[in-house]
Amino acid sequence: MKKIQKTNVARLLDKAKVAYELIAYDVDENDLAAQHVADSLGEDIRQVFKTIVLHGDKTGHLVCVLPGDCEVDLKKAARVSGNKKVEPLPLKELLPTTGYIRGGCSPIGMKKHFPTFFHQTALDFPYIYVSAGQRGLQIKLAPQDLIRESRGTVADLVQE
C-alpha cells in the first residue's frame, strides 16, 4: 500500500483539528467526471461533491459545491451570491485563480478565500467527499466541518 501524500487541504484540516479521511482513486484523464470518482470509491454519486468556480458581475469569483450528478443553476447561484448574473470561470483561468486544476479543485485551500456555497443536500449525509486538491485524491469528512472550515453557506444551487 502506497503512502498517500498529504495535500494542502489535509494540512489545513489538520491545523483546524477536523477529522477526515484521505482516499486515493485511479484517475482517468479522459473521464474527470464525478460519476467516475463515485464509481471508483464505490459511493453514492449524491455524496461525491464537485467544486465549480463561477464569476459574478457584482461580487467577482464564487465557489459552488454540489452533488456530482447535478448541474449548477446559474440563476440560483447569482441570487444567493448577490449577483445579477454569474458565469463559469473559463478553464484557463482556474489554476491562476484558485491554485487548482480541473478534476482537483477543492473548496478548501484556494489561493484566496471566495464566497462558498454548498448545495443543501450536503447536510443529508453523515459524510461527503470533495477533492483533496489533486486528481486521484478525495477527502471524506462531515459536511458541517467542511462548511465551517470553508466559511460556506448552504443554499439551493442546482437545476431541477
Instruction: Tell me the pLDDT tens digit for each residue of 99-108.
Output: 999 989 999 9
Cell matching residue 63: 465557489
Q: Domain containing 95 — which CATH number? A: 3.90.960.10
Start-to-end CA distance of the chain, whole Å, equals: 42
| DSSP line for 137-153 | EEEEE-HHHHHHHTT-E
pLDDT confidence of residue 3: 63
| 31: in domain | yes
Enclosing domain of residue 58: 8-155
Are the C-beta atoms of 108 and 12 separated by less than 8 Å? yes
Average pLDDT over residues 60-70: 96
Separation of alpha carbons 133 and 99, rounded Å: 9
| 132: in domain | yes
Integer-rounded Cα Rg, in Å, for the chain is: 15
Q: Which residue has the cell 482556474?
A: 94
In the chain, how many domains are there? 1
| 14: in domain | yes
Q: What's the whole-number average pLDDT of the chain? A: 93
Quote the pTM value. 0.93
